[in-house]
Amino acid sequence: MIKIGPSLLSADFSKLSEEIKDIEQSGADFLHLDLMDGHFVPNLTFGIPVIEKLRKCSDLPFDAHLMVEHPENYIEGLAKAGVSYVTVHQEACIHLDRVLHQIKEAGMKCGVALNPATPVSSLKNIASFLDMVLIMSVNPGFGGQKFISYTTDKIKEACHMLASAENTHAVVEVDGGINSETAKLAVGAGAVFLVAGSAVFGADDRKTAIAALR
Ligand SMILES: O=C(CO)[C@H](O)[C@H](O)COP(=O)(O)O
Ligand SMILES: [Co+2]
């Protein structure tokens, strides 16, 4: 069952609660929240105080994508703010195993994101522990970029790795440059969570845009 998560990065930041209500009514399955700190990526978005407020505006599950250094400092706050999935970048974590345990002990599901050039094999030893593998199909930091086609092979590899680890509950998510055409490639490769920013928030009719992705 494919799930569609609009990325708030492409919403109108002057009216976030209206934007979230709109995509919820348009059929979104979850809300993708891109936390950027201006260090891990050259862009800055929002933090935990904003997410706490947004939690009151929506019943959608919150999926936090941490593009930050020292993600361990955010885990407790994200749990208190009511986030369901927390995904950290492999490239940002020296102590990846420890951070993933911290996320689960805080009562949330844990994911690891891989930049386009980072190999799937880097997650082999922790594959059975993961709730999600996030394949970045653009270089992180900005919305509206073009889907990098070689990442479809990484989606397949991630599915294969999880199956080999007998991990039947984890999902593969894809993020970056997803539209109705690239969604077909990602789903064909095995992705079940599709993140889409500009393709949903940039559409005049968001209900039609979400239905087209699905
Ligand atoms: O993590 C991200 C960027 O780093 C965003 O989630 C992603 O880029 C979504 O935007 P779009 O669908 O427009 O590519
Ligand atoms: Co993202």
Is-catalytic flag, 59? no
pTM comes to 0.98
Q: How far is the CA of 89 from the centre of ligand 1 (A)?
A: 14
pLDDT given at position 162: 98
Rounded to an integer, the average pLDDT of 134-148 is 98
Helices 48-55/16-25 angle, 10° precision = 50
What tokens does 134 get?
């996030």
pLDDT category, 145, cuts 50, 70, 90?
A: very high
Domain of 127, in residue numbers: 3-213
pLDDT category, 189, cuts 50, 70, 90?
A: very high
Per-residue burial over 31-68, b = 16 or more CB atoms within 10 Å of its CB, e = otherwise: bbbbbbbeebbeeebbbbebbeebbeebebbbbbbbbb
Query: By percentage, how much of the chain surpasses pLDDT 90?
Result: 100
What CATH number should be reported for the domain holding residue 175?
3.20.20.70
Report how far residue 150's alpha carbon sits from residue 26's, in angstroms, rounded to the nearest whole number: 31
Q: How far is the CA of 146 from the centre of ligand 1 (A)?
A: 10
- Is the beta carbon of 152 within 6 A of some atom in ligand 1? no
Rounded to an integer, the average pLDDT of 136-163 is 98
Q: How many domains does the chain have?
A: 1
Rounded to an integer, the average pLDDT of 45-56 is 98
Rounded to an integer, the average pLDDT of 119-139 is 98
Query: Of 113, 123, 118, whose CA–CA distance to 35 is shortest?
Result: 113
pLDDT given at position 119: 98
